[in-house]
Structure 1
Amino acid sequence: MAPIAARGIVAHNPQTPLVPVIGYIRVSAWFEEKISDELQKAAIEESCRRKGRTVVRWIIDLDATGRNFKRRIMEAISAVESATAEGAREIWLWKYSRFGRNRHGVAINLARVEQAGGQLISATEDVDATTATGRFTRGMLFEIAAFESDRIGEQWRETHEYRRIHGLPATGGERFGYIHEGRLVVDGILQRPESYEPDPATAEALVEAYRAYSADGIGFMPLAKMLNSQGIHNPAARAGTGWSQQSLIYYMDSGFPAGLLHVHRSDITCPQRAKCPAPTEHYGFIPGGQPAILSDEMWAAYRERREQRKRMPPRARIALYPFSGFVKCGLCSGGTSVFSAMGRRGYGYRCTSHYQTVHDSCAGSSVPSAEIETEVLSWLGKAAAEMDRRFRGSAVRAKKAPKAIDEAQSERITSELARLQKALDRASMASAMGDMPRDSYLRIRDELVADRGRLEAQLVESQAVEARDSAAAWEARGSVVRRLLGEWDTLQVGSKRDLLSVALTEIRIWPTGSERRVTPAPREGFVF
């Protein structure tokens, strides 16, 4: 059957003014549907030239799916309704499938165009939609596009299900903390299956991120900055892209490092899993094929901490006091909360189980912040003296241990510390000479001190030494202790917490009348 010419669209008479139209181009997100924008644009321009049209506005969607209308096509529809594109009433496409592949969305948005007196025209499908036959033909083309979308979607679901059955994530690619090996097929024979194995270079940093969140109460944003400062980028993102807060949350919540896969429950049907109305209830964890980097206890502690923080108001998630998250009740080992008294905010810490729950499961411990600070500073003073003694070699016995970071990284950190110290010295000199305003100096000083604290903490945790008890190791630990002692009154809360988390696991408090009211618990390497 010969193609039906669209009513009113005939060969152009050079003496007739050109009709303004809007050109819309969509490059699909699916590889097999990726028709280049140049090809689509050339086809639309050629057809417009023959029909006496001129494109006054181009709207281009790159890598956009047609399964929804959260696209720039809505700009074209709005322009037709408001006649803001030089009065254009026609939207020209390469094919009708570029408009959309969602039956419901196509019907609603096509009706909007036509109610505004506009038309949707395909440059390569010559259909007169003003006739019953033309509308039927156009409807069949839209139905074919929707069918193709459904077919491709089913293939992807089958692929995802196959991967999950074999213990693989629905989407392949690199994962933080792992080395990804793709499938190897030679002459149609599988030589090597796809697998994920722990990466010695980044697995330790991954474990530390979970530990810092669960035990130290450090939030996702500081953790993302810490990973980026260490040169550990997000392997699932574009090359060289650093971690963002949201990308780190998504990965750590996925359970992949715990040997799990986060999947939609097969016994619950959702129209579109990507828009699941209840992700918490409809998703769950299944065992994956990758080895677990995290222990069961660490994963459970992370999940518990996540649930706790979800119930916390946003302001409470950022610690305002240096010992928040460190102080534990010596009687029940439970957490503590800050309370105000004597007209002072943050006067002290007390057992949460005793003072804030209905059931008194603990007799309760309560200690003023000033007393905790005095004991911590006292412990730091003793630790500094002992570390100086060991650094001088009076009680050092070398033990062979694997290198946490290589020499190049160690040199980089040391060089960066020296650079930060010089910058701090220059800022101090400028302030002393009156060349820098006081508020600017304080801001710069706090930023430099915070950066230095993070690097020193990294150096302590990952010092490239073959003997854990070597003079270099004791010097690195000693620098953290001396920093805390020497700059306690000027360090910001975040910097204090970063440095304290290197030296201490927790601080135990006990009720009045106990032999010891405050007991700092040092980490390995700080125990004497």
Structure 2
Amino acid sequence: MDLQEEAGRRYAEQQGYTVVAVKADEGISGRTWNRKAVKEVMAMVENGEADIIVLWKWSRLSRARLDWAIAIDKVEAAGGRIESATEQVDVSTSTGRFARGMLAEFAVFESERIGDTWKESQARRVSQGRPHSGIYRFGYIYDKATGYTPDPLAGPILTECYRRYNRGESLSQLLDYVLSTGVPSSTRTDANNWNTSRISQLLKSPFAAGFFTYNGQTYQGNHEPLITIEEWESYLVNRDARKGTRKPRTPHNPYTGLLVCTRCEHKMYQHDKHDRATRYMCSGAQTKKLHKGGSIHQSKIDRAVLAWFKERIADEADAAARKATQKTPALPAANTTATLRRALIKEQSRLDSLTAKYVDEVIPRVSYEKLRDESLKKIETFETKLREVRVQQHQARPKVDPKLLEAWPQMQAVEKQQILGLLIDRIEVTPGHDAGHVIIVPKWATAAAE
């Protein structure tokens, strides 16, 4: 880079140019247009901060035809120029522009030729059973002459990881084992740079079984495997089996998804602070600053839920006593509501069609009024029956076992959540240290309001 900068400064001095900035993309191929320095110098010309871009060679701008043409067009449209310090041509003439184009085309040709040679080299390595590159692989030592050979220190560790995994150990247990060996995950890290993701990726690679991947395909390698084919296939079976048997997430509190803030109608979430009592925070107050005082103690919610249980148990006892002295109507079939709704919608559509025909003078007024009155009467009948069904369904509430009050404090969060999910639609909370209060909204109250 020093040679290129020196040539550029010398050219600028010869031409009488003032150097306002030096930009370079060290270590980045000229094949890609997505380079910081290229974008910066283009922006400087477009913003009037510079008039001329001086390159070491024309190929330094880009070795892609389209990108090169776009760059020239943008700079010249902004009133600037691009010049080369070592390949000087007069771009003010047609001959000079042709020469510049030929130099750029030759750079593209060289880039493509090198790329083709590299691809051929990689393909030849793959056909010989060698990976396309000699990158570091845990468990092996790489040498240009001999290729990959098992590492006497790391190799047995990787083999043991596969065998432990096939015996049923988890990735966390494998992590503990690998850390206990004190062996680093690569030559550039210390022994503590291990995690379960790193171990998972290591096991997924078929390299230890004598294979390698290239362009998404698996090939047989000529390196010595660390595990047998049977051990590799056993790993694949165990890995796929574990994917389908992940344990469901266990809730840490019974009110997950039930608490709603009455001030902003946002959900409330659990918030623990070390040894302090559990509180629930309003997401609208915390993240969107919709109001202040967006928290409430869980103990206040617990008391409200238990009080609601007691009230339900008392109501059910009264209902049972009344039922003994009076006959209650049978509960409608489960599909009665859906049937009535379909009939209601059908009759409403019939009335709309009838009205459209009357407006279009397809049927006379007398016939229309007669059919309209019949349809309105049917609609009223369906609506009345729907209300009656909802009332009866509203009365059919799930019962609360009186023993629940005694067992509730000792129950796990997941058990509490299952019970609350059957009985409660939501818990409306007005947060606040002093004014906070709780309202339980049962599922049958929501159904009756529909």
Q: TM-score, normalised by structure 1?
A: 0.42
Structure richer in helix, relative to its length: 2
Q: Which has more strand, going by share of residues? A: 1
Q: Which has the larger radius of gyration?
A: 2
TM-score (norm 2): 0.49
